[in-house]
Amino acid sequence: MEIDPKRSRERMVREQIMDRGIHTPRILSVMSKVPRHLFVEEALTPSAYGDHPLPIGQGQTISQPYVVAWMTDELDVRPGMKVLEIGTGSGYQTAILAELDALVYSVERVPELYELARNRLDSMGYGRVRLKLDDGTLGWPEEAPFDRILVTAGGPSIPQPYLDQLADPGMLIMPVGPERRSQTLVVLRKEGGRIGRKNLGQVMFVDLVGRHGW
């Protein structure tokens, strides 16, 4: 089945994102621009703009479009900010952050996904994005501090390395919960040496695996 990518993106943004209350112009713009169908296997292309996550191999997924837009909107990324992404996956969220003119540093622990994402992002012109193959729960200490940290996998608690590597002021978003595949999306704000926490709602992400995760 063939799809019209541009029309599919427009419909995705209108029905899945705007209709759920996200109206930030720059978020709508980048969600309308990035070709999501190029971040999934060819066999899944007809489903690329559907209102659901999709498998990308190695037991991992690409999040549903609304969740990507929601988390990105909450993160409030500004041009020139240093953003640490934990869990490169397909590279789709990475591309969204790059389109917001952020300096993106992304860590992936699965070698096969790391290679696919690196080649895909390079071929699409996102050469400024920096990728690292490593235990994502360790963050990227050599490049810290980060103005924003976005974690696309759920863990039992927020790893201490993330708190240490978050700039002041800075913001972190991560799915957190005591049970696997069932979390609360948490926003942390660091300012003046203090950390505030806000819960956004229930989500379901793949496991954050590593020394400070599952």
- Domain annotation covers residue 44: yes
**Residue whose entry in the numeric block shows the structure tokens 């296997």:** 41
Quote the CA–CA distance of 186 and 183 in Å, as a whole number: 9
pTM score: 0.96
Rounded percentage of the chain residues whose pLDDT exceeds 70: 99
- Name the strand (E) or helix (H) holding 82: strand 82-86
142 closest CA partner among 150, 151, 132: 132
Residue 31 is assigned to a structural domain of this protein: yes
pLDDT at site 1: 55
User: For position 179, what pLDDT does the model report?
Assistant: 83
- With respect to residue 213, please indicate whether it lies within any of the assigned structural domains: no
Q: How far apart are CA 33 and CA 9, in angstroms?
A: 8
Task: Read off the CATH number of the domain in which 128 is found.
Answer: 3.40.50.150
Residue 63: which domain range? 5-203
CA angle 161, 165, 166 (to 5 degrees): 120
| pLDDT greater than 90 at residue 2 | no
Per residue in 31-40, pLDDT (tens digit) is 999 999 999 9
Q: Indicate the number of domains in the chain.
A: 1
Query: CA end-to-end span of the chain, whole Å?
Result: 39
- Rounded to the nearest 10 degrees, the angle between the axes of helix 25-33 and helix 5-12 is 150
208 part of a folded domain: no
Catalytic residues: 63
Residue 180 is predicted with a pLDDT of 84
Mean residue pLDDT of the chain comes to 96
138 is a domain residue: yes
How many other CB atoms sit within 10 Å of the CB of residue 144?
17
Cα–Cα distance between 176 and 159 in angstroms, integer? 10
Residue 64 lies in a domain: yes
